[in-house]
Amino acid sequence: MFLSGNQPLVQVLQYELSGAGGGGKTFIRQVKDYVKHYSSRKNSRPPEHVLVFDEAQRAFDASQVAAKHTKTPGYGGGKSEPQLFVDFAQRVEGWSVVLALLGSGQEIHIGEEAGISQWRDALEAVELRDWEVIGSPTTAAAFQGSVVRFLPDDRLHLQEEIRYHWARDLHAFVDGLLGTEQSERLAQISQELGSARYHLRVTRDLARAKAYLRDRYQNDEHARYGLIASSRDKDLPAFGVDNTFSATKRVRFGPWYVDPNTSARSCCRLSDCVTEFGAQGLELDAVLLAWGTDLQWAGDAWSSEKARKYQEAKRVKDLHQLRVNAYRVLLTRGREATVVYVPPLCELDQTYSRLIGCGFVDLAEDLR
């Protein structure tokens, strides 16, 4: 069973697999639904021997699980998702494997900031001591000194980039861009990306950005490109990008990602917007990223002072890091191109200059 807390990803996979029967739910389930089912049925045994937990470093901590399952019958609280899944796996008759897929820099939700240490804590808390962890050597430090046996295996460090068609250095570029790395070095990487046919474009004209993408893919009926933006910006709706909660929650992710451009629900219409919560774990051939005022370049560092605050701010460990992580997600959704629209606000002038200085090409130059 493939399990993910990423609802849009689950919806897209189930939409794609629905033709195989079971509404696409035979092998793909949402973590919350799985927790609800087995937490309310203490004696129920999962039929699957292998549980694949996607983005396991983002598993919810105990307080977030409790907040999400206040109405789940039988849920007693006090357990994180790793603790719950260790419990579920121990119910399986004979043997079980929890395959935890780990990434980094993708924590964008409240309750996701505890990281891999939660899995160590979960295994150390169980009475059965016959668990062993096999993992990439890069995760060994998290289990140093633990009573749980850890076996390093180089084959579990997945370092070959297969997501992007031509952009092996995109993550390095984005990490530098969202940090404080000098623009000269990043401009060099952007040129290398361009030589490899990955295009970084920027404009302050939304209509121009949309026209660029439609023209670029006019002869490719299978291409998918869409409008994305940060959930914490509060100025974009005034510029034609409705990233409000009420608008984005109406988006049906399956059709948005899968349907052809002839469908009114397709991302290629460039009308409905999805945020980092709807884009994480999913990719398009190209994205139109509307940059908000929630992350602004202030001359020598990024500022998130104008970000819309979380209602649960007291439970967030690092508000600024969540914003940086959100833009890291948004900047890495395009497999072939990222087009950034920077609204014509004077407070975003420095942000636009940062992008230009780091190698983004303004669409006014009409380069392809």
Helix (H, G, I), strand (E, B) or coil at 92: coil
Q: Which range among 55-59, 251-255, 268-272, 351-355 shows the weakest confidence by mean pLDDT?
A: 55-59
Q: And the tokens for 345?
A: 């606000």
Residues in the chain: 368
For the CA atoms of the chain, what is the radius of gyration?
22
Distance CA(252)–CA(316), nearest Å, equals 28
In tens, the pLDDT along 142-196 reads 888 888 889 999 999 887 666 555 567 888 899 999 998 889 999 999 999 999 8
Contact 326, 109 (CB under 8 A): no
pLDDT tier, 63 (very low <50, low <70, confident <90, very high otherwise): confident
Q: And the tokens for 151?
A: 């076996």
Residue carrying the six token digits 């948005």: 256
Percent of the chain with pLDDT over 70: 89
Q: Is the pLDDT of residue 118 over 70?
A: yes
Q: List, as one string, the DSSP characters of 116-139.
A: THHHHHHHHHSS----EEEE-GGG
* β pairing state of 273-274 and 225-229: parallel
Q: What angle do CA 79, 82, 84 make, to 5 degrees?
A: 50
Domain coordinates in residue numbering, the chain:
2-156, 170-365
Q: Is the dihedral of CA 100, 106, 112, 114 positive or negative?
A: positive
Count of CB atoms situated within 10 Å of the CB of 12: 23
Which backbone phi and psi does 247 adopt, to 5 degrees?
A: -80, -45
Residue whose C-alpha is closest to residue 198's, from 173, 229, 176, 227 = 173
Q: Is the dihedral of CA 341, 345, 348, 350 positive or negative?
A: positive
Contact 58, 112 (CB under 8 A): yes
The four Cα atoms 327, 329, 332, 334 give a dihedral, to 10 degrees, of -100
Q: What is the pTM of this model?
A: 0.75
Q: Is the pLDDT of residue 114 over 90?
A: no
In tens, the pLDDT along 10-36 reads 999 999 888 777 777 888 889 888 888
